[in-house]
Structure 1
């Protein structure tokens, strides 16, 4: 049955599934690398952000190389024509590049100051900010069921990640009020920046026929430049003393790879779907994380609140899919 679906539809749902897997892995490894790994000095978040952008540029360049039939000359010509000679188009991405760079750094700050549950619940506010920016910037018309699905989704995710009090759980009490405040503010700022930058980038991708990989090279180059400057400004002294890759380990490399791939997966998702649907995939990843913790790590016991929240998320997904069913078929015919 899946094989009978149009290619774009199959690609959309495949990318959404991969996004769930990538988001789940990224949150777990990032949290682990920032708080649970104590051997040696910690890596610089600003360095990890720059490394992820560099890796993304390399991957996209290789894909463009493949699209040009392994011709270095043809690839260089295309890059020159689309990036250098169309400098004004490239500079349009300076806004989302700067915001994405800020957002990625904020997520490291958040996961360094908040527990995973608080972080994941709060970060889901990006679904709401994305919906609002989509309405005002892209002119999207969200029906009653879509708005209702967003509210139900938020309620479900909150219930799924609702912290449970336990006598032996003292980790949350150790966190200082100032640390909690810094973490929450970082997440809130990341939510707003994620919503705006995502919709802005979606608008550019859908209004121009340029290759998504070329767009990501443009975005990556600007993000790399801005991130490198930011790293020198905020961590310049530490970089001069111990180098840019201080504190790097195998888990750090995994985080960088997942973050780089995440940007590419998100780009594919918003090319064939939209940012709100991407937000639903991210929300589902929270449930997947909980299931992995229960069945594999055996460090999580689901409660009735968790079950109710999971059901609400499923209902919300059906509500949203029902509302967009007709427009989706129209888009496939085009």
Structure 2
């Protein structure tokens, strides 16, 4: 057992460096995206052309990564249109609409206000994952979501009142800034929950889901141009109306960011990224626009950061009382030959061949099914185990 620890330890160092690189890149992308979109995309640029370009760029990035992995042929050999539409159809249409709303909001809110309001998607993700997947929230997570709501309300009031007192049109800011980003957050929560369901139940890989959703979303947008004002503008002025070379920068950043999100959430949590990105946004806004955060932003920013920290730190926990031998298996998973001495034959089968939820649930209690469908690294074994701490080494029955 000692010899097996050495290769894994050696392999973990490059893995940690890779995760750190992904985190740093995604933090910069999250933090800089609102500011760059606001500065590099002209007000007259047609929103649908931006979103379509982002979706095409996402497909290209995902295909390049699949080719680099050497799994492109295998993925497309296993692909079917029915499975694709079932898993990716609805999330794709939702994300296409969400991206259009975000592009509208980018132009009408300052970068920091947009970034903070955009984090309300955490609230709606929690709501929809409970409805769709039955994933509960701990009392501390509910408190964190309450802080998030308070920050969003505070910012909405502050943004409208400041624009009104400064001679701006507060109704315009509400209709074309605050409402679009809020609706986009609702749609993001719904789409994220549907994607989580697809990855768990349909066993879809993140790259294939990116390709499918981008393609289906693009088809939905193209279909909408037959009747929409954007479609009329494209036919009248052309697809790249008011585009410049700099417009390509936020398009590519958005596409790469979509890929990075999938990689970061695979290897690490996203709480650090969001908190750091908010600080990056505030810093860049001050450096490039010379605009310090408003009083409302200064109050809302720590509320959002605290909310995200609490939400990530205190997941829903299930209380279990475990004997010492149990903890040993959590921290020192034994080979299959040793485990099978303690487990009935059907249990060993699931360790090596996890079956779909419908089959597993015939034998296992409900909490056990949840861990099968949400495999996360097992790091800690205590008398109070959270859903993020017990999963890969599924809970065995008592010794036979």
**Do Structure 1 and Structure 2 share a fold, with TM-score over 0.5?**
yes
Q: Which of 19, 22, 25 is 1:18 aligned to?
A: 25
CA distance in 2, matches of 1:165, 1:178: 9
CA distance in 2, matches of 1:157, 1:332: 36
The answer on whether the counterparts of 1:157 and 1:310 sit within 8 Å (CA) in structure 2 is no
The answer on whether the counterparts of 1:98 and 1:226 sit within 8 Å (CA) in structure 2 is yes
1:72 matched residue in structure 2 = none
Q: Which of 92, 99, 117 is 1:97 aligned to?
A: 92
State the SS of the aligned residue for 2:136: coil
State the SS of the aligned residue for 2:100: helix
How far residue 248 of structure 1 moved from its aligned partner, in angstroms, is 1.6
CA distance in 1, matches of 2:310, 2:198: 28
- Pick the structure with greater CA Rg: 2
> What are structure 1's unaligned runs of at least 5 residues?
70-74
Q: Which moved more, 1:15-24 or 1:212-221?
A: 15-24
State the SS of the aligned residue for 2:281: helix
Say yes or no: does 1:230 pair with 2:218: no
CA distance in 2, matches of 1:271, 1:123: 22
Q: Which moved more, 1:241-250 or 1:50-59?
A: 241-250
CA distance in 2, matches of 1:240, 1:65: 36
The answer on whether the counterparts of 2:116 and 2:301 sit within 8 Å (CA) in structure 1 is no
Q: 1:316 to 1:179 in 2, by over 3 A?
A: closer
1:68 matched residue in structure 2 = 70
How far residue 158 of structure 1 moved from its aligned partner, in angstroms, is 6.8
The answer on whether the counterparts of 2:57 and 2:252 sit within 8 Å (CA) in structure 1 is yes
Relative to its length, the structure with more helix (as a share) is: 1
RMSD (Å) for aligned C-alpha atoms: 3.7
The answer on whether the counterparts of 1:117 and 1:161 sit within 8 Å (CA) in structure 2 is no
Q: Scaled by the length of structure 2, what TM-score is found?
A: 0.66
Q: Which of 241, 244, 258 is 1:263 aligned to?
A: 258
> What are structure 2's unaligned runs of at least 5 residues?
1-8, 316-379, 381-385, 395-400
Higher RCO (C-alpha 8 Å, min separation 6) = 1
Give the paired residue count. 315
How far residue 52 of structure 1 moved from its aligned partner, in angstroms, is 0.9
How far residue 104 of structure 1 moved from its aligned partner, in angstroms, is 0.4
How far residue 191 of structure 1 moved from its aligned partner, in angstroms, is 1.6
1:276-334 Cα offsets, whole Å, 9 max, x none, are x647743542232112334x337244678766655444443442343137433334657
Question: Where in structure 2 are the equivalents of 1:163-202 lying within 5 Å?
Answer: 163=158, 173-175=167-169, 177-178=171-172, 180-202=174-196
1:329 matched residue in structure 2 = 389
1:213 matched residue in structure 2 = 207
State the SS of the aligned residue for 2:389: helix
CA distance in 1, matches of 2:265, 2:253: 18
Q: Scaled by the length of structure 1, what TM-score is found?
A: 0.78
Q: 1:256 to 1:129 in 2, by over 3 A?
A: same
Q: 1:202 to 1:270 in 2, by over 3 A?
A: farther
1:40-91 Cα offsets, whole Å, 9 max, x none, are xx3211011111111111111122222228xxxxx4x4354233xx211110
2:290 matched residue in structure 1 = 299
How far residue 268 of structure 1 moved from its aligned partner, in angstroms, is 2.8
